Structure 1
Amino acid sequence: MEPWQEMLMENQDLYQERQKGEQPSEAGAARIEPLQKGSPLNHGVDQPEPQGEGRNAQEKGEKLGQGDTPSQETANPTQQLQTGISRVGSPEQEVTPKGQDPGPTLNHPVLEGDGNTSGGEEMPRVFQRGAKEEAEPPEEGRCEEALMGELSELVQQVVKRSSWWERHGIDDSIIALNFLILPAGFLCLRSNNALLFLLGIFILGIVHHTVTVKGSHLASHNALTESKSWGKVWAIFFLEVCSAFTAEQAYYNHVKLHHGYTNVIRLGDSSTWKLPFLNRYVYMFIAPIAIPVLTPLVALGLLKDVELKTALRTLCWMFLGLYSHYWLLVNVSGFQSVWSALICMLITRSLLAHPYIHVNIFQHIGLPMFSADKKPKRIHLMSLGVLNLPRNALLDWSFGHSIISCHVEHHLFPNLSDNMCLKIKPIVSQYLKKKKLPYNEDSYMSRLQLFLHCYEELMVKAPPITELVGIQ
């Protein structure tokens, strides 16, 4: 019999003995022993146990490897992320939508156990380490979470040093000032002087957009006040009374979808602003005039998705807001006919409708889009899919900094007020640029020319799904 045949038969005998649970024969054990000593799996396992202080040091090292206590440097970002300011998803993250990235965290789960397999045999130490490494996020994911944590800590320090006036008072005062000049607008409409009449139209238009855009936007993010109860009251007032839209649907569509899934296809990709059946010039310059009419009609269509008591409440507040505007035009401004009052309502409510539409599409559409299963971490998602426009006195006053020049900052920290977004803008821009992350900025006219030139690709055809790429 050939030598290799003898070895094969002996190996088969050894295998059968192991299957039966028997100890291998002396000859078989003698052949296995040299292989065990040279096996890489047994390297360092069968070493003699250390004595005295050496053994204690080894035990301490194993405990640190299983669950190290974070140092002050690594603990601070985690503590900052647990505060309300640094919850960079939506400010009211009481309910997280299914599949949504819950936001940054620096705590990684560690696979724990007694190290035993289901068969009762002790798992080799190298296998335990491999299982833990697989359970931990990849190095890239930990790096992205650490970046968001570090940025959140920097912003949190600025917020803590800011007074109430900076956090809420400035924006609240702007909105209050608009209500104070509102009577002057209605009184100017009584004049037969054309300039005073046009001034009245301008005042009412500015007040309307400041209240319905800036006020509603801040209220939906609970950024007007630190009280959640008052925040809900202001949300209903600004959204339903002033804007003629349901508060629940506005919160879900804007805060939960748009902010939770920014530029994610079929979730937060701004597709609600696309009307493919309109050509570019009709959409960009004519359709915005219809916004005051379309807004309450869309709101009525969405009421079927809310509870009956919510729908009744919304209908009552919407009717109160629209009728109050009409009543003031008739009884204060002196309009003699229904149609003249309605036309005046349409003009004042659509005064800034064109930049409103433009801003909403300029700052997201045309930037990288992602599929839901391949979207990056939050800091990359917001730096890639959001764009800032230059400061503009009129739009900053009416729409707010968080919608115009600080939109990137707003998407990273959506519960901050407009003034606080402006205050942290240098920190965010410098940090993203320092970490080689995109910080998208472009002018209003540049984006307008882009959309007029590429309207078919951006607004009609489906946007391409990309991963971590630059601006398309």
Structure 2
Amino acid sequence: MSFAVSEKDLNKESGSEIVYDRVNIEKLPKFSDLNKEVTAFVNQCSWWDRYGVDWCITSMGFIAVYVALICMQSSNVMTFCLGVFMYGYCFQMFSVRCAHSSVHNAVCESRFMNRLWAFFFGDMCGSFSADVGYDIHIRVHHPHTNIIGLGDSSSWKVSFLPALFYMYFAPLLLPLLSIPISIKELWGQWMKMTRYILLMLTGLVVNFTLLMRISGFSFTGALLCILISRSLLMIPYIHVNIFQHIGLPMYSRDHRPKKIYLMSTGVLNLPRNPILDFTFGHCIISAHVEHHLFPHMSDNMCLMIKPIVSRFLRKNGLPYNEDTYFSRMWHFTVKYKELMVNAPPITHFVGIQ
């Protein structure tokens, strides 16, 4: 019989803990079985289910941008602040939810159109390179989720920052870092970098033009509005990106389990949230497990297959990780050094014949 050994060891040189999971490999369910069940369900769904719902939400985002610009004309403080919040909300919707889906080829059926939408939502709306997002997220993070040295989310760790600063202040600086990070990652790829700079500058020019001509800002006022509005939801943005992988089982490259076990143990869902659902999307918030198992599905479809995936995993004795936002926030604040500074424990999944 094949199984994985369960014990603990401590590597004195690196200080990292090694955990050996005992799992009966022969009884692991096949991903193909889950895939057949999910595919049969998706084939019964309409275009509206697969793409229409998400495009309806995105269209409302474009309308909300105009409403925000009008609100920021007001001399009433509450109305003005509402406009700034809506502007930042829509920025996150386009730059995170829509850019994330388009990079995954999940906003429409055409791969070519998905590519164009990725440049629009990522480079133009979000000022972050879609090419960099593809390389980091699609090529590394997804196929190697929680594999040490590859998709282990270590890019989110800034170990020299203290806990409270990292958790509740540093994310506000991200809008200033997206452009230099993109250029740094694209350095030497001159065609891609030129395309990114042109699209990014076009997006910023459009933002400045709208804020100055419709909302009546000066250039300096428009700049401050862009920075403030883009920072508003950056704290939860950082939070959800670390909550859903860091602190869960990590695996070495030589002892990685099968896909279904890797994703069920290394990914976590947060509950639905009326604000974050539409800014970051179901794939990032409440259906993250489903997204990692079926990355090409739209936000709405990942939400619709949740009952199938959760039932399949639990029926076969695999974890279906769920936790609340505030529970994870407290957990990371209290255990910041263990989770975000120290080397993570490595889970060895060893098959013995």
Is TM-score (shorter-chain normalized) higher than 0.5?
yes
* 1:429 partnered with 2:310: yes
Identity level (%) = 48
The root-mean-square deviation of aligned C-alpha atoms, in Å, is 1.4
State the shift of 1:339 in Å.
2.6
Q: 176-185 or 213-222: which moved more? A: 176-185
User: Match of 2:140?
Assistant: 257
User: Match of 1:44?
Assistant: none
Pick from 216, 221, 228: which aligns with 1:347? 228
5+ residue gaps, structure 2, are: 1-23
Contact between 2:127 and 2:200, CA under 8 Å: does it hold in 1? yes
One-letter code of the match for 1:333?
S
* 1:277 partnered with 2:160: yes
State the shift of 1:468 in Å.
4.7
Pick from 114, 122, 125: which aligns with 1:242? 125
Distance 2:164 2:131 in 1: 33
Count residues in correspondence.
327
TM-score, reference length from structure 1: 0.68
Distance 1:277 1:143 in 2: 43
Contact between 1:223 and 1:416, CA under 8 Å: does it hold in 2? yes
User: Match of 2:322?
Assistant: 441
User: Match of 1:69?
Assistant: none
Distance 1:397 1:232 in 2: 21
Distance 1:193 1:156 in 2: 52
State the shift of 1:332 in Å.
1.4
User: Match of 1:226?
Assistant: 109
Deviation string 1:47-84 (CA, Å, 9 cap, x unpaired) is: xxxxxxxxxxxxxxxxxxxxxxxxxxxxxxxxxxxxxx
Contact between 1:368 and 1:467, CA under 8 Å: does it hold in 2? no
Please list every run of at least 4 consecutive aligned residues from structure 1 whose deviation after the TM superposition is greater than 2 angstroms. 140-144
One-letter code of the match for 2:97?
K
Corresponding residue SS for 2:30: helix
Pick from 69, 72, 77: which aligns with 1:186? 69
Distance 2:203 2:332 in 1: 35
Pick from 251, 256, 259: which aligns with 1:375? 256
Distance 2:27 2:322 in 1: 25
TM-score, reference length from structure 2: 0.90
Alignment of structure 1 residues 351-370 onto 2, 5 Å: 351-370=232-251
State the shift of 1:427 in Å.
0.6
Distance 2:144 2:25 in 1: 18
State the shift of 1:182 in Å.
1.1
Q: Indicate the structure (1 or 2) with the bigger Cα radius of gyration.
A: 1
Contact between 1:364 and 1:387, CA under 8 Å: does it hold in 2? yes
Corresponding residue SS for 2:275: helix
User: Match of 1:156?
Assistant: 39
Distance 1:141 1:468, change over 3 A: closer
State the shift of 1:342 in Å.
1.3
User: Match of 2:18?
Assistant: none
User: Match of 1:215?
Assistant: 98
5+ residue gaps, structure 1, are: 1-139
User: Match of 1:298?
Assistant: 181
* 1:327 partnered with 2:209: yes
Contact between 1:406 and 1:422, CA under 8 Å: does it hold in 2? yes
Say which structure, 1 or 2, has more relative contact order (CA 8 Å, 6+ apart). 2
Distance 2:139 2:70 in 1: 41
Pick from 324, 339, 343: which aligns with 1:462? 343
Distance 1:468 1:186 in 2: 53
